[in-house]
Amino acid sequence: MSDDEWTWQFRKPAKQTYDDLDDHAQDRITDKLDEIVNDQWRDPGDYLEPLTGAPHSKLRIGQFRLAADCNHAE
């Protein structure tokens, strides 16, 4: 993987919640996450908004809000 390629992954609690969603919701979330990490014009962090009172940011995908962070080191 080159320095400018990104990937995404769920943490265990988020994966459990994701697994409980219907197929349409899962597809919507994974499609958006794939779109974000493959965007050639914007860094994935540009999509995130600060999350008050937490060390993470949030990502809005339709009705869903995901706590997220970008790890530039990995």
> According to the model, what pLDDT value does residue 27 have?
97
H or E segment at 31?
Answer: helix 23-38
CA dist 3 and 13 (Å) reads 28
Q: How many CB atoms lie within 10 A of CB 65?
A: 12
pTM equals: 0.81
Query: Strand 57-61's sheet: what is its strand order?
Result: 49-50, 57-61, 64-68
The token pair that represents 74 in the structure block: 């990995």
H or E segment at 36?
Answer: helix 23-38
**What are 30-57's pLDDT values in tens digits?**
999 999 999 989 888 899 998 888 888 9
